[in-house]
Amino acid sequence: MARISVFGGTGYAGSNVVAEAVRRGHSVTAVSRTAPERPIDGADHLQGSILDAGTRASALEAADVVVVAVAPRGDMAGSVEPGIAALAAEADRTGVRIGVIGGAGSLQVAEGGPRLFDTPEFPAEYRPESVEMAGALDDLRSSPESLDWFYVCPPAGFGGFAPGERRGGFRVGGDVLLSDDEGNSFIGGADFGTAVVDEIERPAHRRARFTVAY
């Protein structure tokens, strides 16, 4: 059994990670700035922000792995990248592994091709948060070798607007966006949570980014 803390544990991606980790019998703490409207049975809740040093310390103390599922939008725009950097430095000192859930925007559209957020079709309103999360990935890649981290990008069609049904299977890729034969790039919330908890239980991407999709 692992001890897992999830920043943004009441959001779409984070809550699916929390639910899957609880389902598998792990000890889970969901961290969020506001109390959850629908708490997940079996998970503890810690109210606080990744920007708060005390909250980060509590989350690290309660965990073997800390997952960040916080989007840099609204009043968090411009703050998530430095928050992750602070957490990473503290995790390095305490020997805790961290995982960061980014967006699809920083994935390449094809091997050696442009990143999704650099294509004309990418919605301009989402570009700033995608660029910020790409910066967080760059920060992790330049971190000390002693820091154990992973970074996972969902596919382009991932979100609460299309939760999907659990299928129990998915593909795993690297730096290139995964799409099916019809050009769809999607994974349901439950299977995304499965992918993250799989990585926690059986680390396959140490100090690396990966992506998942059907």
Torsions phi, psi for 212 (to 5 deg): -135, 150
Q: What is the mean pLDDT of residues 170-181?
A: 97
Q: What is the mean pLDDT of residues 19-24?
A: 98
Q: Please give the CATH architecture assigned to the domain spanning 3-213.
A: 3-Layer(aba) Sandwich (3.40)
State both tokens at 119.
Answer: 């294509």
Q: Is the pLDDT of residue 30 over 90?
A: yes
| pLDDT per residue as tens digits for the range 197-211 | 999 999 999 999 999
* Per-residue pLDDT at 38: 87
Q: Is the pLDDT of residue 131 over 90?
A: yes
Q: From CA 12, how far away is CA 161, in angstroms rounded? A: 10
* Per-residue pLDDT at 141: 98
Contact 16, 69 (CB under 8 A): no
Q: Is the pLDDT of residue 37 over 90?
A: no
Give the helix, strand, coil percentages of the chain, each rounded to 5: 35, 20, 45
